[in-house]
Amino acid sequence: MSKNKHEYAATVRLALISLVLCGLLFPLIVTGVAQVLFPYQANGDLVQLHGRYVGSSVIAQDFQSAMFFHSRNASLSASGVDPDITLQDAYSQIPRIQNATGISATALKQLVDQNVERTMWIAGDPYVNVLNLNLLLIENYPSIYAAYN
């Protein structure tokens, strides 16, 4: 064999080995370890309501009804699937939800305030998870949200 054929064969072998290691074995190992050590997170942080999966706490849900908090507009979120909104955004939605449901603005603000998270544990920018807020609305006001129970 000529030198070029040896180099070509070595390149093809290296490409195939890299493909198997990086494209198959490594993802399988990482997925397996994640399933064993962090099954909830590895499966997408799925959230249930009355035994039925209703969404993921890490991916924005598409709430359209005026009775619910809405996610950010895609132009305001880098990925378009951000599940969280700022406190100001949550507060700005309270009048719409109050008008649609009759729940007092005070009760809605209290619900938001009780579910504040921060980007860096106790410091950092405050935010709230839209899915969690909406599930709390359904649980706390079953007569208003009867269609969703």
Question: How much is the pLDDT for 87?
Answer: 93
CB–CB of 148/135 below 8 Å?
Answer: no
In sequence order, the 6+-apart residues with CB closer than 8 A to the CB of 124 are 118
Q: Which amino acid is at 130?
A: V
**Taking Cα atoms as reference points, which of 105, 112, 102, 100 lies closest to residue 136?**
112
- Residues 115, 120, 126, 132: what is their CA dihedral angle, to the nearest 10 degrees? -30
If you ran DSSP here, which 8-state letter would residue 24 be given?
A: I
148 DSSP assignment: G
3-class secondary structure, 85: strand
| Contact residues for 69 (Cβ-Cβ < 8 A; gap 6+) | 63, 85, 90, 93, 97, 128, 130, 133, 134, 137
What element of type H or E holds 137? helix 130-140
55 and 133 in contact (C-beta within 8 Å)?
no
- Per-residue pLDDT of the chain (149 residues), as tens digits, is 567 888 888 899 999 999 999 999 999 999 889 888 887 777 777 777 778 877 777 777 888 899 999 987 657 656 667 788 999 999 999 999 999 999 999 999 999 999 998 877 777 789 999 999 999 999 999 999 998 87
Nearest to 133 by CA among 79, 78, 70, 46: 70
